[in-house]
Structure 1
Amino acid sequence: MIVRRNMRRASPLFLVTLVLGFCFATYNLVTIVMHNRSISKWMVDDSNGGIFFDPVIGRPENMSKPKNAKLPFHVALTATDAPYSKWQCRIMYYWYKKQKDLPGSEMGGFTRILHSGSPDNLMDEIPTIIVDPLPAGLDRGYIVLNRPWAFVQWLEKATIEEEYILMAEPDHIFVTPLPNLAHGGYPAAFPFFYIKPAQNEKLLRKFFPEEMGPVTNIDPIGNSPVIIKKDLLEKISPTWMNVSLKMKDDPETDKAFGWVLEMYAYAVASALHGVQHILRKDFMLQPPWDLEIGKKFIIHYTYGCDYNMKGELTYGKLGEWRFDKRSFLRGPPPRNLPLPPSGVPESVVTLVKMVNEATANIPNWDTE
């Protein structure tokens, strides 16, 4: 467990710099956003047509977890109504229900935040709240740009009993009961090897001014998985949304960060608010690179798993045996997927077995 410290509080000079630094959004971006009343309340425009966000706050004081006290967290995942998203959500929710009440778990309620703007056929199966997508054209084909906006809306309109929230994703499977890994004002997050603030200082300085300290104050994380206090997320989310839009509107940043742009935006937004995370490598494993389950809590099956029949990894080349979620973009995988050949790591075998168990027990599995 790693706790990162030494953050600075925002100064008046920083706030002035922040306003000036965020005043160069394009006219078209502002026009699109300001025509949508529900989103415009979270975005501030100045006389130059720029977009920036409310002043940042200092980091809350550290709080230790009372001994033997349970601190439940609400599980929240953003999703669309596409078949690809729906079958992953169904598997994820199945394993949430299996693990929720086991010893060691501090999982509370569950919400699928559906940012397609209208109901789908899973409303009765999975607890769901409907929120609006971004105004047409604003995500520019980058669908996950809707995620921070979805959280902003959900936090505003929902009644959430738990003090903490886990931001999760459809391709997460709870492999063991998950406790609350956060400690008061210190959220818990998984460190991603490909989020490298120090190597991207030139780009990040467009959004994280020098007055806030070194770019190493930006955690190497995304927004998921993260367990965070609800009141902190309420403060960070509008900033996260605005930084995401600003990054997407900057061609150099958009090209450099690509599909992880929104992850960088969450890390920057957290740092701007003086919030740093406890980095937990045991939060999650990612087959095929992580070979064993060990004492980890979540399987994240974002990578394809390709092997020959000798059990040797052939990543980058279609395997004789393979499991890749992208093989099922238009509908759910069939029940009873073949298990991998002998010699394939435990993590991959466990993943396929857990998918098979879920699909065998979820009614009407073939429904899109």
Structure 2
Amino acid sequence: MGRASPLLLVLLALGFFFAAYNLLTLVIQYKDSSTGLGSGISDSLTGMPANFRKSGKSNLKFHVALTASDAPYSQWQCRIMYYWYKKMKSMPGSDMGKFTRVLHSGKGDHLMDEIPTFVVDPLPEGLDQGYIVLNRPWAFVQWLEKATIEEEYILMAEPDHIFANPLPNLAHGNNPAGFPFFYIKPTEHEKIVRKFYPEEKGPVTDVDPIGNSPVIIKKTLLEEIAPTWVNVSLRMKDDPETDKAFGWVLEMYAYATLCYSRHGIWKLGRDFIIHYTYGCDYNMKGELTYGKIGEWRFDKRSHLSGPPPKNLTLPPPGVPESVVRLVKMVNEATANIPGWDSLNSG
């Protein structure tokens, strides 16, 4: 064979380069799509690739399901939550389907006619060791087994959630959508997390800082993981070191450890749901008095035995708009829910 010219060698080299580059690009794109990470520009609100949100593919309805007890403290929160669900459900941009309060009391209560409810049993007496939240995964197991659920997706919610805007289905196939919590820190509890998430599963950094709620998840996937979620929660509660370290968020760690990031987790943004888990305490200058009861306050724990009164006083000037909006939304709900004061006293 004759000696190849320098120009031919250059062309061959460029050809191999572009072929290798295109192959590598395809591999990266396939890997990203299979892990749910995508290659689009991240949306600042949800962490979901913007091109997916605009594609119109996320239009499957999701069933709103919240687990609850029959305690007055839980009942008044459920009533407010259901009020705002009904307002947001039919608005543009909403993918909300039907609604179920999964009541883990073993018997019905006086809200059965007001809120769509499915009654399930609590855990056997003593098994929760006083930690009533352990009833949540067990309630989902029973509901998924016995109820007829038309929607392909489920939003796991809690009574102290208020829909601030219509919520689209932010899940992507088998990739759930969840909210990251600053107080869920798996890497700071690596020794304990490893009891339930062994090294062969991957680095602890793979465990997402989430709980089960709020999470939008495919129904078939939740059916698969819910029984294990119950078992892991009970194992954590039975381990004194784990119980002490995780405290009131133990069940959230159980869910995060079980799900880690094998399916990928899109992030639910702050603009869809107001979660009023913490008390709001401010002085009359509008300054936060963290750790101290404020001159103005709204704390759900101030109303353990019954509902808050109608027409709560609005916060003083200077308080964040999110707190002002929360109080206004509570006031609107309590003003429009029939029998607000009487129904919660029984």
Do they fold alike, i.e. is TM over 0.5?
Answer: yes
1:325 aligned to 2:309?
Answer: no
1:73 aligned to 2:62?
Answer: yes
Q: Output the TM-score relative to the length of structure 2.
A: 0.83
Residue 333 of structure 1: SS of its match in structure 2? Answer: coil
Q: Deviations over 1:232-262 (max 9, x none)?
A: 0001101110000000000000000000000
Match of 2:252 among 260, 263, 266: 263
Q: Output the TM-score relative to the length of structure 1.
A: 0.78
Instruction: Provide the identity percentage.
Output: 76
* Residue 206 of structure 2: aligned partner: 217
* Residue 310 of structure 1: aligned partner: 285
* Residue 273 of structure 2: aligned partner: 298
Residue 223 of structure 2: SS of its match in structure 1? Answer: helix
Residue 276 of structure 1 deviates from its aligned partner by 3.0
* Residue 142 of structure 2: aligned partner: 153
User: Cα RMSD over matched residues?
Assistant: 1.7
Residue 209 of structure 1 deviates from its aligned partner by 1.0
Residue 337 of structure 1 deviates from its aligned partner by 0.5
Question: Counterpart of 2:320 in structure 1: which amino acid?
Answer: P
Structure of higher CA gyration radius: 2
Distance 1:5 1:350 in 2: 40
Trace 1:30-69 onto structure 2 (pairs within 5 A): 67-69=55-57
Gaps of 5+ in 1: 8-63, 285-295
Distance 1:189 1:113 in 2: 20
Distance 1:198 1:279 in 2: 19
* Residue 311 of structure 2: aligned partner: 336
Q: Deviations over 1:46-77 (max 9, x none)?
A: xxxxxxxxxxxxxxxxxx78933521100000
* Residues 144 and 262 in structure 1, CA contact (< 8 A), matched pair in contact too: yes
* Residue 245 of structure 1: aligned partner: 234
Residue 260 of structure 2: SS of its match in structure 1? Answer: helix
Where do 4+ consecutive residues of structure 1 move more than 3 Å? 3-7, 64-67
* Residue 50 of structure 1: aligned partner: none
Q: Return the structure number with greater helix share.
A: 2
Residue 96 of structure 1: SS of its match in structure 2? Answer: helix
Residue 279 of structure 1 deviates from its aligned partner by 2.6
- The aligned length equals 296
Residue 225 of structure 1 deviates from its aligned partner by 0.3
* Residue 133 of structure 2: aligned partner: 144
* Residues 35 and 264 in structure 2, CA contact (< 8 A), matched pair in contact too: no
* Residues 307 and 313 in structure 1, CA contact (< 8 A), matched pair in contact too: yes
* Residue 363 of structure 1: aligned partner: 338
Residue 94 of structure 1 deviates from its aligned partner by 0.0
* Residues 65 and 184 in structure 1, CA contact (< 8 A), matched pair in contact too: no
* Residues 89 and 166 in structure 2, CA contact (< 8 A), matched pair in contact too: yes
* Residue 103 of structure 2: aligned partner: 114
Distance 1:332 1:4 in 2: 47
